[in-house]
């Protein structure tokens, strides 16, 4: 029963990993931009929520209503102001710029919030659970996290396949130059893609902040798990990202079940195993671009 429990908790944990991975996957898929500041940007959302909840007394889940649009706006401005000009140079330029941004954000957060751990408190929902059997219970909060991930990814999938703008995003992903020749303003579309990416990472950051404590130095650990979920799931596949997050989550909880200190290690090992056995991920994009 302990093992069943570990797997169930892993699946639930995977939802938040998938949310982290979505934005990374989107910015790489559309802009070919490897955003090394992704983890730090999640922390920006989490810390902004700390300030907002302190100032207003709101539940952090309510604060999402403000934080998500604000992060989307930040994403649009970052893309148009900083990232777009670097994209036409070689790929290294944009990676270095995002790395620099990561360093800047981390230090600004340290300056403003200090190195102390912070947490977000969502009230009784954090500890409420559904008891399935004597040994198996599902936490409401984790379940909401997973359902949110499914809803966000489902919405994104519908957006990408059913809307004019979503198709434009995919066209830019396939071939940005031709997309421009077909009338698509690629710089604007890139901005929209980054806005969506940071909106999803804002949700992920706030959920993570409720789940556990965080401090300004944790960005790169978050980035690493997001990367692992993306690679496991396969680049460019929305549902693959969810699968990647869940595989990573299950690997960590099963690892912790074997030996409590092995949680992160097991996640990395599964990631490496997938990379060796299926470098394209479990659910690669159907057609090679």
Partner 1 sequence: MSGLLEVQGIDARYGNFQALFDVSLSVDAGETVAIIGANGAGKSTLLGAIAGDVAVSAGTIRFDGADLAGVPSHQRVGRGIALVPEGRRLFPSLTVEENLLVGAFRRRPGPWTRERVYQLFPHLVPLASRAAATLSGGEQQAVAIGRALMANPRLALLDEVSLGLAPLVIRQLYGALPEIRAAGTSVLLVEQDIGQALRVADRVSCLLEGRVSLAGAPKGLDREQITAAYFGPHGLEGAEAVG
Residues of this chain that interact with partner 1 (CB under 8 A) are 164, 167-168, 170-171, 173-175, 177-186, 285-289
Residue closer to partner 1, measured from CB, 183 or 261: 183
Taking the complex as a whole, the smallest distance from the CB of residue 181 to partner 1 amounts, in Å, to: 5
How many C-beta atoms surround the C-beta of residue 215 within 10 A? Answer: 16
In degrees and rounded to multiples of 5, residue 151 shows phi and psi of: -65, -45
Question: Which CB, 187 or 278, lies closer to partner 1?
Answer: 187
* Shortest distance (Å) from residue 157 CB to partner 1: 14
Measured from the CB of residue 286, what is the shortest distance to partner 1 in angstroms?
7
Closest CB 176 distance from partner 1, rounded Å? 10
Q: How far is the CB of 193 from partner 1 (least distance, A)?
A: 15
For residues 146 and 164, what is the distance between their CA atoms, to the nearest angstrom? 28
Quote the tokens at residue 289. Answer: 């671009």
Residue closer to partner 1 by CB (options 131, 164) is 164
**Nearer to partner 1 (CB atom), residue 71 or residue 168:** 168
Q: How many CB atoms lie within 10 A of CB 266?
A: 21
E strand or H helix that includes residue 192 = helix 186-211
Cα 121–chain centre separation: 21
Nearer to partner 1, 80 or 167 (CB): 167
Shortest Cβ distance from residue 161 to partner 1 (Å)? Answer: 8
Name the β-bridge partners of 137: 131
Choose between 170 and 268: whose C-beta lies nearer to partner 1: 170
Q: Read out DSSP for 56-100?
A: H---HHHHHHHHHHHHHHHHHHHIIIIIHHHHTS-HHHHHHHHHH
> In the bound complex, what is the minimum distance in angstroms from residue 30's beta carbon to partner 1?
12
Helix (H, G, I), strand (E, B) or coil at 95: helix
Return the CA Rg of the chain: 19
Assign 3-class secondary structure to 104-119: HHHHHHHHHHCCCCEC
Phi, psi torsion values for 280, nearest 5 degrees: -85, 0
Taking the C-alpha atoms of residue 34 and residue 227, their distance in angstroms, rounded to an integer, is 10
CB nearer to partner 1: give 8 or 165. Answer: 165
């Amino acid at each position: 029963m302990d093992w069943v429990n570990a797997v169930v908790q892993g699946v639930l944990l995977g939802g938040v990993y998938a949310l982290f991975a979505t934005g990374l996957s989107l910015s790489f898929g559309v802009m070919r931009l490897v955003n090394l500041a992704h983890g730090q940007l999640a922390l920006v959302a989490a810390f902004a929520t700390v300030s907002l909840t302190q100032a207003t007394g709101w539940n952090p889940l309510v604060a999402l209503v403000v934080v998500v649009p604000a992060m989307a706006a930040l994403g649009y401005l970052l893309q148009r102001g900083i990232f777009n000009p670097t994209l036409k140079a070689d790929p290294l330029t944009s990676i270095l710029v995002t790395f620099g941004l990561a360093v800047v954000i981390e230090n600004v957060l340290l300056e403003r919030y200090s190195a102390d751990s912070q947490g977000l408190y969502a009230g009784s929902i954090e500890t409420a659970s559904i008891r399935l059997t004597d040994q198996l219970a599902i936490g409401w909060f984790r379940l909401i996290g997973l359902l949110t991930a499914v809803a966000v990814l489902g919405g994104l999938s519908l957006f990408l396949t059913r809307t004019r703008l979503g198709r434009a995003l995919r066209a830019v992903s396939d071939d940005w130059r031709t997309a421009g020749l077909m009338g698509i303003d690629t710089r604007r579309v890139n901005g929209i893609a980054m806005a969506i990416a940071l909106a999803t990472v804002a949700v992920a950051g706030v959920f993570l902040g409720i789940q556990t404590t965080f401090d300004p130095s944790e960005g790169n650990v978050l980035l690493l798990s997001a990367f692992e979920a993306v690679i496991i799931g396969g680049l460019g596949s929305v549902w693959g990202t969810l699968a990647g997050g869940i595989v990573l989550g299950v690997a960590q909880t099963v690892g912790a079940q074997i030996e409590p200190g092995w949680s992160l290690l097991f996640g990395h090992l599964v990631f490496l195993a997938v990379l060796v056995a299926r470098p394209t991920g479990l659910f690669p994009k159907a057609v090679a671009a």
